[in-house]
Structure 1
């Protein structure tokens, strides 16, 4: 019986989206607990206000928010709308990244036991097909909690940054376009370069303009994207940050000296580079 590729894409799409919103639910936990030094494993999810354990149905991504009427069933604490937004955003971006780098056929090639349909001539499984996918997912799944924490507390926790660098380095060891040496150069370029810029700014302006969290985060980005990824991430993050900063200064009437967190801009720029880096580089060097 022939396999309908459209049906296969829909089935995989639903699974990937459900996986993504589930990860998004976990990222909400990470973003809430890490700054408060609470374990991300225990205790079970609880109401931030009354500390009572939430019911099981409330843990269902997105749907739980609707079933609880956006309130704690114990104290009527209003659950922030950001929770389902983060879950939906993570699900949508996970789905996009999957179909950007992979197809259902690529996944099926990883499991020979499923390759029994004569309709398709499957080739060998290539791990290299999955490396860019893992890189983008790693940037996404760390960038979301880091952005939330930076926006709320103006910090980028080492508990996420340091493991991020280590795991990013390990992923890069399987990336034939980067390798361990390229990853190491990226780490040094990212952290060292931004640290140098931060010190120059501090000397010229007499005040700190870039936090050490941003310095370490750019080293993290360098671990998975290499030195070229660092340069373009910093370039695009600076442009976006400047535009948003100017607009926010005008709207808030606080002027151009308004300080805004840089972490979310680094995260969004790094995700764009990891997803469309080849096209961006080709466009730049062609023109």
Structure 2
């Protein structure tokens, strides 16, 4: 009570956020029991018969689900491997720019795509990469045949990764800009006196100081390893590229919202959540084992 009285204003400010998480994150967990039931609309969730692990066993015997799981893992790892370093590199490069005006302009431009929805972004990219789009116009000028990029399995995953990086790298760099600004300037001054150039200052001061932030963001990223980007893929894919682009989220959408197999869709979604929990705990433990206890979340 003493703590509440002392910080009552802060507690009051926290209440809307707490209410949001309770209503939209914890209360809906009741619906997870659908994964173990044969849901019948007229009987409701609780009165529908229990069928145990049937939906999970069916999912892992379904070749379509196994292909969807494979696509999700591949696309997520591509985005993580190629997308994770980009905000770091961008922040490091922009930090070395002397002009404050250019820094602000570059940051503003890089942030903008984050605020544009995937509905709009998908339309822009599909227009640019269409048969009559900008990219194919250049290809035609070079004397080559146009390519159906959005309907070609060979290019589609690459397009997903590049467009995701373009949309998110500026926003993702904000954390690194904040971390860099918090580095003690005396470290750089001492390094300059010792004769260290820009490159060595980045290697021996900036990057090591960013390591804790990078470790935490990597751990949090692993929690979404099966979240390959529903909004992006749903707005960009087509039947022609289902084989390489259909992911767990789009699969759950079709099973639940289109085919109305609510119990099965819930089971697949629950499996995804369990894997996310396992991944975040595993990566956190690996970082602690590698000697980075201070970098781990717990």
Please report the TM-score for the alignment, with normalisation by the length of structure 2.
0.26
Higher relative contact order (CA 8 A, sep 6+): 2
Please report the TM-score for the alignment, with normalisation by the length of structure 1.
0.26
